[in-house]
Amino acid sequence: MATTLSRRTVLRSLGTAIALPMLDVMQPGRLLAASGGPSTPPIRMGFFYVPNGMHMPDWTPQSEGTSYQMPETLARLSAHRKHLNVLSGLTLDGARAHGDGGGDHARSVAAFLTGAHPRKTNGADIQNGVSVDQATATQIGAATRFASLELGLETSSQAGNCDSGYSCAYASNMSWRGPTNPMAKENDPRAVFDRLFAGQTEKETRRARSEREKHRKSILDFVEEDAKRLHAHLPIVDRRKLDEYLYSIRDIEKRIAGAEKLGITEEGVPDYPRPLGVPRELSKHSELMMDMIALAYQTDSTRILSFMFTNAGSNRSYKEIDVNEGHHELSHHGKSADKQRGIAKINRFHLDRFEYLLAKLKQIPEGEGTLLDHCMIVYGSGISDGDRHNHDNLPILLAGGGGGRIRSGRHISYKNGTPLCNLYLWMMHQMGAPASAFGDSTGQLDKLG
């Protein structure tokens, strides 16, 4: 029976490398750390962006503290109340016009993780700031296979005019490695799956994929013998964890394969532009991507990721929930009750997808708690009320326990105008990537611990 196992152990075979979840035999607590006491699982950070603001009356609690009542939209997360903080009053000054006129949607995404005010241009001379995920990855990213992951449900653009003279690079990317270097996001769940579980090199990955497709095999078929050898030397609890983990991988493979057969309407034409392998239904697409995120965190393939539900100013309709008007159009509701109901339905649809992720993270045991206990995940938008295009008092959630660093279950109201970047600066310090300042921060956000 194994007594200890390296956290970096993988199951290997032809062009395949499957990282393992956190098993008990990997727990640092089984051996005394050099400091004389047990250490804990790593902390993960994530950032989830939704466009066009929020229907704020259904979002903002009326009272502070732990006894607040969840409004209708937030109530979708009632099962995770103890793992959430609702943060009010945070502001994204970089998304304001500052004399540049229209373009709030593009600015809201470009500034969301950078805190910077992007240069207004639709040419090649884009200029933004470094995003918090990349600033953190620069310091700690070497600890994992992927320093960071950039994901979403729509593709990124690097050029073009997308919003009142702002480049599409601003509107479709929120992660920035440098002021002129947006990080394109991946929206194909199969491509993410291959990155997580295929070989270490591109050549190995192509070879493994070719063999799987040729013989219609699961990726697990290639590591079956390695898995059996490991299984025989694990304690009973870890055998169960390994079995459940491998089952989830095979289940996701089947769903991805099924998704690739979708995407055509009864009339024989695509109902929404998408690359091959992306499900037609947004709910199925998003759930597969949330599965990828959970696996990436569970295997410690990365500790840092960002996710955009759609690009800035998206006017996508949501026929799955009987909202046939475009999202952006509805956000300019002009106090129309019907349009506000439509916006609220879209808000709840996005939040349901986020709830799916939180539920998965909460079901995965890790250390003395769950994977969610070791996460810090920001969910929100760089616009508050889509009709006003305001960037203060933003709709922001902080989910997860941060490895015991976050006291959750509260609505915390800050003075309106408090920089959102204060939260990011605090998060960087918790991740072991301290900085004296970030974006337009005035200090680390208080009241979280």
Return all residues near 81 (Cβ < 8 A) that are at least 6 apart. 70, 409
pLDDT of 32 reads: 35
pLDDT of 230 reads: 75
Every domain of the chain with CATH number 3.40.720.10 lies at 45-187+282-449
Taking each helix axis as running N to C, give the angle between helix 282-298 and helix 236-259, from 0 to 180 degrees, rounded to the nearest 10.
Answer: 150
Q: Which of 212, 197, 205 is nearest to 298 (CA)?
A: 197
For residue 100, pLDDT beyond 60: yes
Q: Which of 209, 199, 388, 371 is nearest to 290 (CA)?
A: 371
Higher pLDDT, 265 or 300: 300
Q: Would you say 113 and 421 are in contact if contact means Cβ atoms under 8 Å apart?
A: no
> Kind and range of the H or E element at 305?
strand 304-308
Task: Assign 171 a pLDDT band (cuts: 50, 70, 90).
Answer: very high
Higher pLDDT, 243 or 76: 76
User: ∠ CA 165-101-388 to the nearest 5 degrees?
Assistant: 110
Mean pLDDT of the chain: 85
Give the whole-angstrom CA distance, residue 256 versus residue 253.
5
pLDDT of 223 reads: 61
- Span 231-246, pLDDT tens digits: 776 777 677 767 777 7
Q: Span 113-117, mean pLDDT?
A: 98
Length of the chain: 449
Q: Which of 380, 375, 412 is nearest to 396 (CA)?
A: 380
Task: Assign 7 a pLDDT band (cuts: 50, 70, 90).
Answer: low
Pairing of strands 375-380, 161-163: unpaired
CATH code for residues 45-187+282-449: 3.40.720.10
Lowest mean pLDDT among 102-106, 178-182, 278-282, 315-319: 278-282
For residue 259, pLDDT beyond 70: no
% of the chain with per-residue pLDDT over 70 = 80
- Span 264-289, pLDDT tens digits: 344 433 332 333 457 889 999 999 99
Exposed/middle/buried for 265, CB within 10 Å: 0-12, 13-18, 19+? exposed
- Span 378-424, pLDDT tens digits: 999 999 999 999 999 999 999 999 999 999 999 999 999 999 999 99
